[in-house]
C-alpha cells in the first residue's frame, strides 16, 4: 500500500525500542509497536473514508501522529470519527486477541501483557490534552457550542490544566514519562504560539470556500471572532445584514486597501 511510504519512526522511538530489546523485553516492544500502528491505521481509515490527504505518519514511543492537509472547517462529526478511529481499531484488536487467547493461540502472559498495554495506550490517548485524541475531541465538542477562536482558547486552557494534573499524578515517573510530559508541554505551547495562524487559516477558508452549514446566525455587531463551524453568519450594518464573506473580504482582499 502506498500509504506506508509515508510512515516514519521517530529517532527517539528507535532508542526506546533498542533499550527494550537489550534488556530482553522483545515481546513487550513488539506488542506496543503493534498497538501503536493499529491505532494510527484507525485514523487513516477514516481520513481515507472522508477523502482527506495524508502527509505523513510518525510513530513515537508513546503514540503516533498522523499529519493531514484537512481544512479546519470540515464537519465536526466527521472529525470526531477520525479521532475516535484509533480507539475503534484498538477495540477491534482487543476482540482479535481475545479470540486468539480463548482458542489457545496465545499464551496467558502474552494476552494479559497485551491487555495492559492496550488499556494504557487507550487511556493515555483519551486524556483531554492537545494534541492527544482526547484533547482534539474536547476542542471539537467545544466547537459545537462556541465560536472557533473561543473553542481553541478553551482547549488550550483545559489542556494546560490536565497536563498539570497528569504531571502531579506521575511526579515520580521514569525518564520516559518526563519525556512524554515535556513533549505534551511543547505541543501545547506550540499551539499557543500559533494561535493567530490557526485563526487566520480558519477565516481564510471561510472566505475562499463554501462549506456545508447546519444553521444560520444573525449578529447585531460586526465581529468575525463570532464565527462558528457549520454555521453561516450575517452581520448587521446600517440596518442591513451583510454576508460573512463580505466582512472577511475586507480582511483578506488586497483590493479593499487601494
Q: What is the pTM of this model?
A: 0.89
Residues 102 and 141 in one domain: yes
Residues 127 and 39 in one domain: yes
Predicted local distance difference test score (pLDDT) of residue 258? 42
Tell me how many domains the chain contains: 2
Crossing angle of the two packed helices 108-125 and 26-49, in degrees rounded to 10: 50
Distances (CA, A) of 51 to 19, 87, 178: 39, 20, 37
Residues 21 and 133 in one domain: yes
Contact assessment for residue 39 and residue 172, using Cβ atoms and an 8 Å cutoff: no
Q: Which domain holds residue 136?
A: 2-203
Residues 227 and 196 in one domain: no
Residues 45 and 133 in one domain: yes
* Closest CA relative to residue 109, chosen from 28, 192, 206, 4: 28
Among 185, 203, 221, the domain-final residue is: 203
Residues 134 and 234 in one domain: no
Residues 223 and 182 in one domain: no
Residues 163 and 241 in one domain: no
Alpha carbons 13 and 11: distance in angstroms, whole number? 5
Alpha carbons 55 and 47: distance in angstroms, whole number? 11
Per the annotation, the verdict on 205 as an active-site residue is no
Query: What sign has the CA pseudo-torsion 118, 124, 127, 132?
Result: negative
Residues 188 and 249 in one domain: no
The pLDDT tens digits along the chain (258 residues) read 556 678 888 777 777 777 777 777 888 888 998 999 999 999 999 999 999 999 889 887 777 888 898 999 999 999 999 999 999 999 999 999 999 999 999 999 999 999 999 999 999 999 999 999 999 999 999 999 999 999 999 999 999 999 999 988 887 766 677 788 888 999 999 999 999 999 999 999 999 998 889 999 999 999 999 999 999 999 998 889 999 999 999 888 754 444
pLDDT digits (tens, 9 = 90+) for 116-152: 999 999 999 999 999 999 999 999 999 999 999 999 9
Predicted local distance difference test score (pLDDT) of residue 23? 76
Helix (H, G, I), strand (E, B) or coil at 209: coil
pLDDT digits (tens, 9 = 90+) for 63-97: 788 889 899 999 999 999 999 999 999 999 999 99
Residues 145 and 76 in one domain: yes
Residues 219 and 191 in one domain: no
Predicted local distance difference test score (pLDDT) of residue 63? 76
Predicted local distance difference test score (pLDDT) of residue 118? 96
Strand order in the sheet with 231-237: 215-219, 231-237, 240-243
Name the active-site residue from 40, 136, 139, 244: 40
Residues 54 and 89 in one domain: yes
Contact assessment for residue 44 and residue 2, using Cβ atoms and an 8 Å cutoff: no
Predicted local distance difference test score (pLDDT) of residue 48? 93
Amino acid at each position: 500500500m502506498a500509504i506506508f511510504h509515508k510512515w516514519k519512526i521517530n529517532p527517539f522511538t528507535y532508542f526506546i525500542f533498542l533499550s527494550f530489546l537489550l534488556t530482553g523485553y522483545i515481546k513487550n516492544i513488539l506488542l506496543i509497536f503493534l498497538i501503536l500502528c493499529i491505532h494510527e491505521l484507525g485514523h487513516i481509515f477514516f481520513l481515507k473514508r472522508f477523502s482527506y490527504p495524508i502527509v505523513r505518519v510518525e510513530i513515537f514511543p508513546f503514540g503516533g501522529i498522523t499529519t493531514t492537509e484537512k481544512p479546519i472547517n470540515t464537519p465536526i462529526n466527521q472529525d470526531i470519527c477520525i479521532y475516535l478511529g484509533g480507539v475503534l481499531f484498538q477495540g477491534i484488536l482487543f476482540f482479535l486477541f481475545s479470540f486468539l487467547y480463548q482458542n489457545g493461540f496465545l499464551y496467558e502472559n502474552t494476552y494479559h501483557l497485551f491487555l495492559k498495554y492496550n488499556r494504557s495506550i487507550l487511556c493515555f490517548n483519551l486524556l483531554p490534552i492537545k494534541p492527544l485524541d482526547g484533547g482534539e475531541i474536547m476542542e471539537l465538542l467545544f466547537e459545537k457550542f462556541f465560536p472557533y477562536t473561543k473553542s481553541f482558547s478553551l482547549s488550550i486552557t483545559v489542556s494546560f490544566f490536565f497536563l498539570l494534573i497528569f504531571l502531579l499524578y506521575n511526579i515520580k515517573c521514569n525518564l520516559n514519562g518526563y519525556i512524554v510530559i515535556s513533549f505534551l508541554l511543547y505541543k501545547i505551547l506550540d499551539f499557543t504560539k500559533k494561535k493567530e495562524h490557526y485563526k487566520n487559516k480558519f477565516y481564510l477558508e471561510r472566505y475562499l470556500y463554501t462549506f456545508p452549514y447546519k444553521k444560520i446566525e444573525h449578529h447585531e455587531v460586526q465581529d468575525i471572532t463570532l464565527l462558528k463551524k457549520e454555521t453561516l453568519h450575517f452581520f448587521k450594518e446600517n440596518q442591513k445584514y451583510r454576508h460573512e464573506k463580505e466582512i472577511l473580504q475586507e480582511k483578506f482582499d488586497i483590493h479593499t486597501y487601494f
